[in-house]
Structure 1
């Protein structure tokens, strides 16, 4: 039966953390919910802090937690009244012992909120909380999760990035929620993931048969990310957007690459969209390499300013060691910026032949690719055009939403 002749669905999209400015979770929730609504479906989003930015017609329900990782009030001490709530107490104890309890506690809160409201929905879509609370609902209503990439990769890279046994233990404690996520993920008959690479890696890391996965690539918001040909590009201006102090994102290797070619390009500049941790590893490395005059951190910027930064850039670099999909690569391509990317994770599936691909964790290869684009501006321009075309033809949120609805209906049918 054609989709247009089938009844619209009532969808509940759950997201334990939906920051619209950092990471991909908030981007996924906003764009997928809008695309589902545009197809005629009713969408409610239930989120913990920080909240997503949603479009008109998508209803938001806020499940407040302690929000102890809020950078404006980091690791605050909760009040006695707050800690009288057992779930809040569990969250505070988890954070106090260097853990990350938010997926667990969000799932408990979601269970309490939804258990008497399940009749409002046809399906629950869990955005990677993989919590016991969501598991507890799956026999009463169809549930499908999205797993963007195996968090075991983040954990292993973080542990290898430090030498001190104490710091290794801290990373292992932080990622201790993974055990819950693996146990819960194994209970679902269907799982959405965003690339063939992540299907393979999650299947291996979580011991889940590959046949249970439905690969649905993310879209790119081309209404937000688009070329601005009236703005002149600076061929020696590089843009990178990532979580600066996360080893997984590879900024350390890009900084080493910049230092390696600085002598050949005295006017080379790197713009980092983000904010470094005060006196963290990135700041210390910049100081040690002596390249502080070439690096600018934007801090948090508006969407309009973000697109302007892309418009001025001569190239975008995605130095990640691993990506489950690679939104920064797709967003740069949508702006017509030539892209240099590692082959970490699913990035080759996004970039294809529309960018330069180099091995991950290789500063020399990154530096050579940057030099190549600076020396050959015609090649850089061609890559920018190819990247824009690739995004327009392959990565739209409408296509992602249509495929997601197909997965919903499959799970709903199997649940009957």
Structure 2
């Protein structure tokens, strides 16, 4: 079985582990743009080919239409390597109305007309860009959705959109997170090791250390989390500390805020492999995302990594947060600092319950969201569409 994945996710080295897992069972190549601007890290490579353990990433220049977002690219390639590779399946990681999907779909129909189409979708909000653009999106989606042999839906919200707005066939949909978690790296720390991580990241624990990892921007609920910890400290009269790891528009504001809130700590962006060590320093992980017309959590990957690390987790009911944490963590409503404060206080006052949730969360990731588990779902879908 030959599978060509089309997308930009595998520019990140940590994501290439999933390719290695898949390559143990199938022949796999990736068609990727040479560059991509992410939320925190930007990727730009000069090579035309990256080879790994049983897989290849072929890199192409791209073109983005004027005034379109970074993800709305098309490839400057006529065949995306299909002429030589001859894929049985083309797995496109983009919405069917996106330029890259339309581009890849027609390239597939020309060079590999018998190939099956699998599509990963995760955009669980439908952003209006005006009547003309919305009309074009709907026109493209309604004609291309039926051409997809199977959808991998990263969250329940995107499944609902495709069922209701585009008339997708529910029998051709499978829930699966986009990228699996390396549960060997994101694992609980050893007993007694926390102090070395405090030193490494210049952290002060106080009586307990709460943490967040992700984009420092308002829609992630960072200000709600700070208000919640402030309220918790005032109500409990205990020295709880908060640490935020990440980068974003709120960074300067937060540096100013630290002068008045000495219990608030910031850690700048670090390589992905080191995030696992940062999580080992925490006692509780919090994902306080807000719901906006254009924002819901897509895949909750940072939350999954914290869960894999065995941390008791609290998250707001926002998109994929609810999909992954239900039953193995605490969920609260968005934009409610006092409710969030109560949840944090409940966990910190009952260590046994927190430990139980942490163990359950890690087991959930191992069974459903690990690299191996996600690869098995992919392989099952690939076999299904070819049968």
Give the TM-score normalised by structure 1: 0.72
Paired with 2:174 and 2:157, the residues of 1 have a C-alpha distance of 12
- CA RMSD of the aligned region, Å? 3.3
Paired with 2:137 and 2:308, the residues of 1 have a C-alpha distance of 37
Residues 189 and 393 (structure 1 numbering): CA distance in 2 closer, same or farther, change over 3 Å?
closer
Residues 224-263 of structure 1: pairs in structure 2 closer than 5 A: 224-230=185-191, 231-232=193-194, 234=205, 236-245=208-217, 247=219, 249-263=220-234
Name the structure 2 match of 1:311.
Answer: 280
Q: Counterpart of 1:137 in 2: which secondary structure?
A: helix
**Unpaired stretches in structure 1, ≥5 consecutive residues:** 1-8, 21-25, 66-86, 157-171
- For 1:163-220, what per-residue CA distance to the aligned partner results, in whole angstroms no more than 9, with x for missing partners? xxxxxxxxx58xx699648824524242111344442244335443433312234532
Residues 261 and 192 (structure 1 numbering): CA distance in 2 closer, same or farther, change over 3 Å?
same
Paired with 2:283 and 2:185, the residues of 1 have a C-alpha distance of 19
Q: Counterpart of 2:286 in 1: which secondary structure?
A: strand
Question: Is structure 2 residue 172 aligned with structure 1 residue 212?
Answer: yes
Paired with 1:373 and 1:366, the residues of 2 have a C-alpha distance of 11
Paired with 1:138 and 1:113, the residues of 2 have a C-alpha distance of 8
Paired with 1:289 and 1:262, the residues of 2 have a C-alpha distance of 15
Pick aligned residue for 2:184 from 209, 223, 228: 223
**Unpaired stretches in structure 2, ≥5 consecutive residues:** 36-42, 196-204, 291-295
Residues 299 and 355 (structure 1 numbering): CA distance in 2 closer, same or farther, change over 3 Å?
same
Residues 259-298 of structure 1: pairs in structure 2 closer than 5 A: 259-263=230-234, 264-265=236-237, 267-277=239-249, 280=250, 283-284=252-253, 287=256, 292-298=261-267
Q: Count how many residue pairs are aligned between Structure 1 and Structure 2.
A: 344
More helix by share: 1
Pick aligned residue for 2:32 from 47, 53, 76: 47
Name the structure 1 match of 2:140.
Answer: 183
Paired with 1:181 and 1:289, the residues of 2 have a C-alpha distance of 47
State whether residues 117 and 149 of structure 2, in contact with CA within 8 Å, keep that contact through their aligned partners in structure 1: no
State whether residues 276 and 309 of structure 2, in contact with CA within 8 Å, keep that contact through their aligned partners in structure 1: yes
Name the structure 1 match of 2:6.
Answer: 14
Paired with 1:181 and 1:36, the residues of 2 have a C-alpha distance of 33
Paired with 2:3 and 2:306, the residues of 1 have a C-alpha distance of 31
Residues 16 and 309 (structure 1 numbering): CA distance in 2 closer, same or farther, change over 3 Å?
closer
Name the structure 2 match of 1:63.
Answer: 60
Pick aligned residue for 2:329 from 355, 368, 375: 355
State whether residues 237 and 269 of structure 1, in contact with CA within 8 Å, keep that contact through their aligned partners in structure 2: yes
Name the structure 2 match of 1:377.
Answer: 351
Paired with 1:337 and 1:350, the residues of 2 have a C-alpha distance of 14
Name the structure 2 match of 1:124.
Answer: 90
State whether residues 241 and 274 of structure 1, in contact with CA within 8 Å, keep that contact through their aligned partners in structure 2: yes
Q: Counterpart of 2:289 in 1: which secondary structure?
A: coil
- For 1:239-264, what per-residue CA distance to the aligned partner results, in whole angstroms no more than 9, with x for missing partners? 212222262x3323222322333424
Paired with 2:311 and 2:237, the residues of 1 have a C-alpha distance of 20
Give the TM-score normalised by structure 2: 0.76
Paired with 2:226 and 2:140, the residues of 1 have a C-alpha distance of 38
Q: Counterpart of 1:323 in 2: which secondary structure?
A: coil
